[in-house]
Structure 1
Amino acid sequence: MNILLPLCAAVLQAASFTLDKAILSLKRVGFISYTGASFPLVFIITGVIFFIVRPELSVGMFGSGRWALIVLSVVGSAISNLLYYRALKNDALQEIQALDLLQAIPVILVSSIFFSDERNPYLVFPALAAALAVVWSHWDHHRIRIAKKTLPYVLWSLAIAPLSAPISRALLLVWSPVSLELVRAAGMALIFLPFTLRSYRTLSFTAWRLIIVTNMLTAVAWILFYASYQRSGIVYTVLLFSLQPILVYFASLFILKERAHRKKIAAFGIILISIIFAQIMA
């Protein structure tokens, strides 16, 4: 059962990111209007899930400084999303997703240092191998090729990811994944509220339909991702979630008609071997 949570999250998020790129490729859809439309929808969709599942949500859950962790989580995610969709608007989908996995390396290392139960070498080393495989697949002429408008997102995610993962894990000791995502989504919707009215004026009916679908996928994916954090830990979740960029890569080939690269196909094989090894040994 534990393996299904991050795997399902990876599949759903890969489908969502593929749709995101398709939406941002439409006329009159910019990253500002897209984020303004998306986060209120994520809040509404998560709210529906909340009323179906009915997990605990009380004022006491914000105590002991947890409210500050939630604020940090929301603000960090808001900046990450704004930079991510700015990069996605201008760069190839497969490039963004593969570079996104770079943050897995500091996340794994920091988690292994600060959490004793995350120090399983049968998880840490395969997870690092999977992340490094994606880095290698983007290594060209002695450097990683990164587009100019993508670089701010990469630098920010490398800085914030090692902090956001432990914050999420600390909150999930008290919070349920659904409750946490509901509160986070509410905060994100408030931050992006100034962009929401603009999105209503500029987005077409076709864009809205796709935005609703992609945000349904991503809302469920994040809940499953947090559930995996809670049950299996950070390193195990990051390892299995390494499949997401490769799934997106194949989607970009067959759906968006982006160009194939042999090194990225080889990276996919390394990630699969890492996951199988960790699943058997751990």
Structure 2
Amino acid sequence: MNRPDPARRVRLRRRLRTAGFLSPWLAGFGVFFAYPLAATVYFSFMHYNQIRPPTFVGLRNWSYVLERMPLFGPALWNTLWLVVVMVTLRVVFGLGIGLLATRVKLGKGLLRTLFYLPCLVPPVAATVAFVFLLNPGTGPVNGILSALGLPSPGWFTDPAWAKPSLVLLSLWGIGDLMVVFLAALLDVPREQYEAAELDGAGPLATFRYVTWPSITPVVTFAVVTGVVQTMQYYTQALVAGRMASGVSIGPGTVVQPGYPDHSTLTVPQLVYSLGFQNFNTGAACVLSLVLFALAMSVTALLMRRRGGLLRAED
């Protein structure tokens, strides 16, 4: 009779112990990610109006979304535009303000507090305030621009200025990134700055060869999380479009998103409109999967060891 291998029993106990520690995460992953993803894939091949049982329609939903849906192109373009422009400017401004906060000696605590305070404002309240401030007829911003003899844009009522207005709104709440970059900048060893100063390196050379290599992982984190969040951009664009349109919203009122002229329409808004206003669950699931694939592709591109933001040794 063969006796059980003691080493195998030890390995089994370790695996069971590891599985026990991972069980909360595994349960959460299965319930909140794996199952919804599998259900989304399943319903993308079904005709389902959330009332009658789903019926299999093959690739009809995919064909409709990718070939015949008129708003898919504008929504995808707006989402990608916001990803490129908004994420880039937020990272640049957040890093710049973080650098400024490390240089200021007098009142640095007050400065950091003032930059972080806008992050505490709820997104809906911040968007309503911005729409009021940038109102082309009664807003104080255009009043100041007119008094200075400068052109007064239409902001949220002009298709050419609607997305830049949303970018300004996101830059106003840049304090979250400022805190992240500030922590990374303060963590750079002072000895490296002293060595660079002894070698005669200027500010640009010091930033390039000392600061940037040290904060690259944090920049990668900021870019990746920014891309994922902007791919899900919904509340601010929807509230800004509805407020700028002047349409009163009440019980039973259905307002199509994207005002003005679909310039603020994003893919998440289109998903909600299809799934919960038009009860076209299959097409909404197709859009969700397209958005998921884009987010995963961009994230994988940014996280590459070579060619991405991360260096090979990180």
**Fold conserved (TM > 0.5)?**
no
TM-score by length of 1: 0.30
TM-score (norm: length of structure 2): 0.28
Q: Of Structure 1 and Structure 2, which has the larger fraction of its residues in helix?
A: 1
- The structure with higher relative contact order (CA 8 Å, sep 6+) is 1
Larger Rg belongs to: 2
